[in-house]
Amino acid sequence: MLNPLLKLTKRTEYGLIALLHLVDREGEIVSVREVGDRYPVPRRLLAETLKDLGRAGIVESQRGAGGGYWLARPAEAITLGEIVAALEGAPSLTSCQDLGAARTDGECDVQEVCPIRSPLTRLRQGIWALLEGTTLRSLANTSLHPTALFSSAQAVVAPLGPAGQGEDPAA
């Protein structure tokens, strides 16, 4: 059994495949059929996924014969984080906190004494920053390198403490 920590759901996988295809056909209208013919993916799920992306404003669509999907924005203005959020919802690393949302019902069952909440929250933000710093364009163009990726992630996690101080990285 392999770790789901970094797992993407099939929906997101299929969504990425579709989106990358849309990047390839930027400026044109692409039907679900076309994408489904190209990749051995359940056509129906692909359709569901594109509907979700449409509702999220990442793609636009036109119904009827000759209809299909296209990117709502240029590929460099669409981030991986946005895509994942659209297809899987907002991120949460531990189950005991959703940044104030849905606090009405169950609440964190580890409550006040939960010692992992704070540090993991920061880590989650760092990871999320990585996703936000990766654009659909950079995914499409493998030769491009997500350099800005780290500067943004660093900006999020760095405030943890003063840089290059006591801790020994060589340990």
Partner DNA sequence: GGGATTGAGCACCAATTGGGTGCTATTTGG
Partner DNA sequence: CCAAATAGCACCCAATTGGTGCTCAATCCC
Residues that bind DNA (CB under 7 A): 1, 4, 9-11, 31-33, 42, 44-45, 47-48, 50-51, 54-55, 61-69, 88
Interaction of residue 105 with a copy of itself, rule CB under 8 A? no
Toward DNA, which CB reaches closer, 21 or 122? 21
Decide if 136 contacts 76 (C-beta within 8 A).
yes
Q: For residue 72, what is the DSSP state?
A: S
Partner from DNA, a copy of itself, none contacting 110, C-beta within 5 to 8 A by type: a copy of itself
Write down the residue that tokens 């004494």 correspond to: 113
Sign for the pseudo-dihedral over CA of 40, 46, 47, 48: positive
| Minimum distance of DNA from residue 35's CB (angstroms) | 8
Which of the listed partners (DNA, a copy of itself, none) does 104 bind, with a CB threshold of 5 to 8 Å by partner kind?
Answer: none
* Footprint (CB under 8 A) of a copy of itself, residues 53-72: none
- 3-class secondary structure per residue, 104-156: CCCCCCCHHHCCCHHHHHHHHHHHHHHHHCCEHHHHHCCCCCCCHHHHHHHHH
Select the binding partner of residue 73 from DNA, a copy of itself, none (C-beta < 5 to 8 A, by kind). Answer: none
Cβ proximity to a copy of itself: between 72 and 130 the closer is 130
| CB-side neighbour CA atoms (13 Å) of 60 | 9
Q: Which does 121 bind (CB under 5 to 8 A by kind): DNA, a copy of itself, none?
A: none
